Structure 1
C-alpha cells in the first residue's frame, strides 16, 4: 500500500519525483537491505569454489575481501547507470542492480579448485559477455518471442536446482570440510537452522522493513548464535576488522585479462537469459509502480545499462550485474516509483564498496550461517521458476519440451563424468546443465509445431493427457 505521507498519488507514480531527503534516504537504504545478502553471496560462492581460504590469516583473505568489496561498489555504480542514465544507457527508472545468481552455474566450473589463477579467464568472459549483453539492447524486443514462460521458467528453475547443493554443503560445514568428522555435525546444522527459522518467522509474521529484511536479520541472529556456541570467535572478528583497510579504490585488471572460449561462450549465452529477466523486471516496475507498460526506450536503456555495467565491473574484478527482482516487489509494496530514492541506495552501496572494513565483517560470517541464508535464497529461485511455469499451457508438446530439456540438463549436471571425453570448453559449458537445458528448450520450442498430435507423444508422456494452463490430471472415474 502506498505511503501517501511521502507525496501525492500522482507524485508517487512519477519516476522523476524527488521526495525530501530525510524520506528518500531511508527508502533507498531499504532497497539496499532487501538485496544486500544476495548481492555479496555470489562472490563468496565463487571464492569457495576456487578454493580460497576463508580464515583471516589465509593468504587468500585480501582476494576474498576485494571480491566482496567490488560486488558492493559496482552494484551501486550499475544502479546509478539505471537511475541517473548516461545518454541512451539506463532506463531512468528505480531499477536496483546487483550481482547475478544466474551466472553461477557457469562461473563455478570455470574456477573449480583453480584458485586466483582462474580469475583472469573468468573476468575476460565477464567483460566480453557484458559487451555482448549491451549489444542485445539494440534488438531485445525482437527476440522475446523465442523465450516464452516455458523457456524462461525452465531456465530459472534450473538455476536454482544447480545451486541448492551449494546451500546444503555450506550448512554442513563448507566444501573444504567435506570428508572430515565435523562435516554435517549437529553444531553446524544448528547454525543454519537458526537462520532459516528466524528468516521464515520474520518473513511471514511481521510486516514492513522487518519482513523485507528477513534474510539479513536471520543472518545477523545466526551470526550472534555462532559466536555464543563457539563456531566464530571474537578474536577472528577483531583480526578481520584490523586487517581491513578503512578506504580503498578498485584496481583495474587486478587479476589480468585472458580469453577463454568456455568463459566467453558461457557468459554470452547467459546474457540472453539475463536480458529477458531484465525486460520482465522493467515491466514489473512500470506496472507495479505506475500502472502502465514499459516503453521500448526504457527496456532498451535498461538492457544497455545491464551490459555496460557488467563489462565495466569485469574490468575491476566484479561479477555480472543484473536487475534485482526482489526490489521490483518492494516498489509495488511501497508505491514509491521515484528513481531518486534508488539513487540514494546506490550511493550507500558505493560508499560500502569503498570501505573494505565492511567487507571484512561480511567475510567473518561463518559458512554454516551463510548456508542457512543460501538455502532460503536458492530455494526461492526454484520457486520463482516454478511460478513462471504456472503460466505455461501444459499440453503434450510443452510437456515433451520441458521433459527432454530438464532430463538432459539436470542429468549432465549430476553426472559430469558422462562427458569426460569431450573437449574442455564443451565439457564446462554442457556440465553446467543450464546451457544445454536452455538451448534444447529454445530450439524445440521454435521447431516443434503447435498442433503436435497427441498420438505422437503418447509413449513419451506415459499416456498422460494434455491439460489446461497450470492444471493437473482429473480422474475420469471419480
Structure 2
C-alpha cells in the first residue's frame, strides 16, 4: 500500500505531481538501485566477448571503465528525455531507461574476439538503429498487429535462451579461464551460488525495497564472500579505484565510426522488438500507477525517446537504451506515479556516469559473482517470454509457427557453422538466432490462414490448446 503521507491518492496518480524533495530524492535513487546492475551488465558482457582484459593492469581496463561509464550516463540522459521531454520526444511519464539486454545476442557476434577495433562498426549500428527506432514512433500503433504475443513471447524467450550460456560461463570462471583447472571449480561455483541463494531469499522472504533490490543485495553479499575467501584481493579494489579518474566527460566518436551491413540491419530489426517492449512498459506504468490506458501521444513520445536516447548514446560509445520493466513493478508497488521522482533518479545516474571511479569499483566484481546475478536475470528474461506466450491460443497453427521459428532460430544459435558460407554480414545476423526466429514467426503469422484446417481448434498433444493469461513479471 502506498504511503499516503507523500501526497493524496489523487496526487500520487498524477505524473506531474512532485513530492517533497526529501522524499522524492530517495524514491528516485530507489529506482536506480532496482536497475543499476542490469544496466551496466551488458557493457561487461560485450567487453568480455570482444576479449578485453579485465584486470586493473590490463591495457583495455580504461576502455572497459569507459563503457560502464557511458552505460550509466546515457541511461540517465535517456531517462530525462522520458520524464522532462524535449518537444515530442518523451512520454512525460516515470519511465526509467537503461541498457537493453535484447541487443546483446546481436552485439556479441559483431565483436567476438575482435577487441577495441570492432567497436567502430558496433556503435555505427547503434546510431543508425537508434534513428530508425525513433522513426518507428511515427507508426508504432499501426504495426502492433504484426507482433502478437506469439511473436513477442517467442522473441523474448529466444533472447533469454541466447544469454543463459553467458551466465553459466561466468559462474564457472569466464571464457578466458576455459581449459584451465580453475574453470568450473567448486570455489567459482560457490561464489555464484551464494549470489543465487541470497537473491532468492530476499526476493521471496523480504518485502518492499529489499525484495525489489534482491539481485543487487545478492551481488553485494557475493562480493563480500569473494573478498573473504580470497577470490578478490583488497589490493585489486584499491588499484581499480586509484587507476580510475575522479571525473571524466564523454568523448564523441571515441572509437571511430563505421557502417557495417550486419550491425545496421541487426540493430534496426531489433529496434522493433525494443519498441514493442516499450509499448508494454508504458501501458503497464499507466495502468498500474494511474489506473488508465496509455494515450497514443504517450506511446509515441516514449518510442521517440527510446530511439533518440539510443542514437545519442552510440555517438559517445554507449549501448542501446530501452525502458526497464523492473521499474514498472516498482511504480505499482510504491503507488507513486510522479515523473519528477524518476527525474531525481536520472540525475543520480548522470552523476555516476561522470565519475569513472564508480565504474572502477563495479569492475572489481568477480566474474563468478556476476555470473550468479546474470543467471537469475537471464532466467527471468526466459520466464517473461514464457509468461507472454501464455496469452497465446495453442491451436495447431500457432504450434507450427512456434515450432518452426524456434527450431531454426535456436538451431542456428547452437550450430553457427551451419551457415559458414553465407556472407559475413548475413552470417552474423543468422547465428544470433533471434532475428531468423522473429522473421519466420512474423512472416508465417501473417501468411498462414487463421483456420489452418477444420481441426485447428482441437486440443493438441498435452492439452496445450488452452488459452492462459499471465502478466509479465516486474523484473
Classify the TM-score, shorter chain. over 0.9
Q: CA deviation at 1:210?
A: 1.0
How far does the alpha carbon of each residue in 1:128-183 deviate from its partner, in whole angstroms, 9 at most, with x for none?
00000000000100000000000000000000000000000000000100111110
Matched, 1:404 2:401: no
| Alpha-carbon distance between aligned partners in 2 of 1:463 and 1:434, rounded to the nearest angstrom | 26
- Judge conservation of contact 1:154–1:389 (CA < 8 Å) in 2: yes
Aligned to 1:250: 250
- 2:68 is paired with a residue whose SS is helix
Q: CA deviation at 1:5?
A: 1.2
- Judge conservation of contact 1:400–1:457 (CA < 8 Å) in 2: no
Q: CA deviation at 1:120?
A: 0.1
Distance 1:349 1:465, change over 3 A: closer
Aligned to 1:59: 59
Aligned to 1:422: 422
TM-align CA RMSD: 1.4
| Alpha-carbon distance between aligned partners in 2 of 1:213 and 1:457, rounded to the nearest angstrom | 43
Q: CA deviation at 1:353?
A: 0.3
- Judge conservation of contact 2:402–2:441 (CA < 8 Å) in 1: yes
Matched, 1:468 2:469: no
- Judge conservation of contact 2:397–2:456 (CA < 8 Å) in 1: no
| Alpha-carbon distance between aligned partners in 1 of 2:375 and 2:308, rounded to the nearest angstrom | 31
| Alpha-carbon distance between aligned partners in 1 of 2:68 and 2:217, rounded to the nearest angstrom | 19
| Alpha-carbon distance between aligned partners in 2 of 1:260 and 1:133, rounded to the nearest angstrom | 17
- List gaps (5 residues or longer) in structure 1: 472-478
Q: CA deviation at 1:469?
A: 0.4
Pairs within 5 Å for 1:127-206: 127-206=127-206
Over 2 Å off, 4+ runs? 454-458, 461-466
Pairs within 5 Å for 1:96-115: 96-115=96-115
Aligned to 2:472: none
Q: CA deviation at 1:103?
A: 0.1
| Alpha-carbon distance between aligned partners in 2 of 1:455 and 1:88, rounded to the nearest angstrom | 48
- Judge conservation of contact 1:13–1:336 (CA < 8 Å) in 2: yes
Aligned to 1:474: none
- 1:143 is paired with a residue whose SS is helix
Matched, 1:450 2:450: yes
Pairs within 5 Å for 1:19-30: 19-30=19-30
How far does the alpha carbon of each residue in 1:33-67 deviate from its partner, in whole angstroms, 9 at most, with x for none?
00000000000000000000000000000000000
Aligned to 2:392: 392
- 2:4 is paired with a residue whose SS is coil
Q: CA deviation at 1:468?
A: 2.4
- Judge conservation of contact 2:76–2:349 (CA < 8 Å) in 1: yes
Aligned to 2:281: 281
Q: TM-score, normalised by structure 1?
A: 0.97
- 1:469 is paired with a residue whose SS is coil
| Alpha-carbon distance between aligned partners in 2 of 1:375 and 1:395, rounded to the nearest angstrom | 32
| Alpha-carbon distance between aligned partners in 2 of 1:76 and 1:326, rounded to the nearest angstrom | 16
Q: CA deviation at 1:466?
A: 6.4
Aligned to 2:336: 336
- Judge conservation of contact 2:395–2:456 (CA < 8 Å) in 1: no
Aligned to 1:436: 436
Q: CA deviation at 1:470?
A: 3.3
Q: CA deviation at 1:2?
A: 1.7
Q: How many equivalent pairs are there?
A: 469
Aligned to 1:34: 34
Aligned to 1:81: 81
- Judge conservation of contact 1:395–1:465 (CA < 8 Å) in 2: no
Aligned to 2:305: 305
- 2:5 is paired with a residue whose SS is coil
- Judge conservation of contact 2:172–2:188 (CA < 8 Å) in 1: yes
How far does the alpha carbon of each residue in 1:265-320 deviate from its partner, in whole angstroms, 9 at most, with x for none?
00000000000100000000000000000000000000000000000000000000
- Judge conservation of contact 1:254–1:317 (CA < 8 Å) in 2: yes
